[in-house]
Structure 1
Amino acid sequence: MFVRTVYATGDPAGLGPALRALDAEGHDLLEERPGYRGAGVFVDRDVGKLLTVSWWESEEARRNSDEVMREHRPALLAPFAATVAVANWEVAVFHTLQRPAAGGGLRLTRLEFDPVDADLLADTFHAHVVPRLETLPGLARTALLLDRARGHGLTGALFTDHRSLAASRAGQAAIRHQGAAKARATVVGLEEFEVVHADARAD
């Protein structure tokens, strides 16, 4: 699968209208696109951050949806978004234990690595990181997204509720430290979000 992420920041007071637009018009626009495999919406209501993730069965399907979504995105995110960053990713690992639910939590880790180590990172995450993440209570889903050419990566760990997200911080910190060292990757960002919506179909 392939992914497009949209990362927007703005006045927290404007999040409500943007979320309602994404839930209505945004959802319908995505559902109409060939190859669409689900989406996620995540927020930090205190700081004013919004992350959307759309999943596609092929790189072509993602690319073909870009023009339509680019045209409608400003209206969907108004009046909230003051800054918007769009990125495209390959899904290297997608592992689900249970369906994430609204009110849960997402921990997002941003990575940088030498592009020649992309396969090493994917193999390390699959073989060493995922089994350890599975031991964290409340884990619902985890994924590794790669931009091989730029040497950028995202890992996401979704938890069923905020309590589980908070309780996992020490445990995941140890996993993150050891996994990054083994994969020769550098952690360059760490964020947490509330799950508004999360639905992706791997099959």
Structure 2
Amino acid sequence: MFVRTVYATGDPAELGTAIRALNSEGRDLLEERPGYRGAGVFVDRNLGKLLTVSWWESEQARHNSDEVMRERRTALLAPFAGTLAVENYEVAVFHVLPRPTAHGGLHLIRLEFEPADADQLADAFHATVVPRLEALPGLARAALFLDRERGHGLAGTLFTDHHSLAASRAAQAAARQAGAAKVQMAVVGLEEFEVVHADAHAG
């Protein structure tokens, strides 16, 4: 599986307009694309941040979809988006528990690593980090996305509610430390978002 992320920042007062456009026209456009396997929308309403993640069954499907989405993206996110960054990743780990995610919370870690260590990082996340995370109350998903060429990654955990996310912070810090002990990596960003919706069919 492969994903494309879109990270936008702008005026918090305009964020609702972008969310409505993504949940209507944006979702329709994605669902028309071959190889589409789901999407998520995550926001920070106070700071004015928006993250979208779309899932694709192959790199080619993701590439083909972007030819259409690139033309419509700016209009969909207007007038909210003042800055826009688009990135592509491979889904290295995707661990799902059958729990609801709407209106829950996303804990997101931005990573940097040596490209040659990508497989070692994925193994460490699956074998060391996931077992620590899956015992956390309210956990719904844990995922690791990798850009092997650039040595960039995203590690995300979704929770059913914000209370569970907040209560997990100490345990997540311990899990990060345990993972870092297995493979050399740098945590370069730590963020939290509200889950507007999150659906992905990675099987």
Coarse TM-score class (shorter-chain normalised):
over 0.9
Give the match for residue 55 of structure 2. Answer: 55
Q: CA RMSD for the aligned pairs?
A: 0.7
* CA distance in 2: counterparts of 1:33 and 1:156, whole angstroms: 25
Give the match for residue 140 of structure 1. Answer: 140
Counterpart residue type for residue 47 of structure 1: L
* CA distance in 2: counterparts of 1:98 and 1:15, whole angstroms: 29
Shift of 1:179: 0.6
Give the match for residue 24 of structure 2. Answer: 24
* CA distance in 2: counterparts of 1:144 and 1:90, whole angstroms: 9
* CA distance in 2: counterparts of 1:7 and 1:177, whole angstroms: 26
2:68 matches 1:36: no
The one-character-per-residue Cα deviations of 1:143-192 (angstroms, maximum 9, x if unpaired) are 00000010001000000000000000011011111212312111110000
2:114 matches 1:114: yes
Counterpart residue type for residue 82 of structure 2: A
Give the match for residue 149 of structure 1. Answer: 149
Tell which deviates more after alignment, 63-72 or 95-104: 95-104
Give the match for residue 96 of structure 2. Answer: 96
- Stretches of structure 2 lacking an aligned partner (at least 5 in a row): none
Number of corresponding residues: 203
Give the TM-score normalised by the residue count of structure 1: 0.99
Give the match for residue 6 of structure 2. Answer: 6
Counterpart residue type for residue 6 of structure 2: V
Shift of 1:113: 0.4
* CA distance in 1: counterparts of 2:118 and 2:100, whole angstroms: 27
- SS in structure 2 opposite 1:166? helix
Give the match for residue 158 of structure 1. Answer: 158
* CA distance in 1: counterparts of 2:196 and 2:70, whole angstroms: 22
Q: Is the 8 A contact 1:100 1:141 kept in 2?
A: no
Give the match for residue 64 of structure 1. Answer: 64
* CA distance in 2: counterparts of 1:100 and 1:59, whole angstroms: 28
- SS in structure 1 opposite 2:7? strand
Shift of 1:2: 0.2
Counterpart residue type for residue 168 of structure 1: S
- SS in structure 2 opposite 1:22? helix
Give the match for residue 80 of structure 2. Answer: 80
Shift of 1:99: 3.9
* CA distance in 2: counterparts of 1:105 and 1:146, whole angstroms: 21
Give the match for residue 193 of structure 1. Answer: 193
Shift of 1:120: 0.3
* CA distance in 2: counterparts of 1:195 and 1:169, whole angstroms: 17
Q: Is the 8 A contact 2:128 2:178 kept in 1?
A: no
Q: Is the 8 A contact 1:122 1:144 kept in 2?
A: yes
Counterpart residue type for residue 56 of structure 1: W
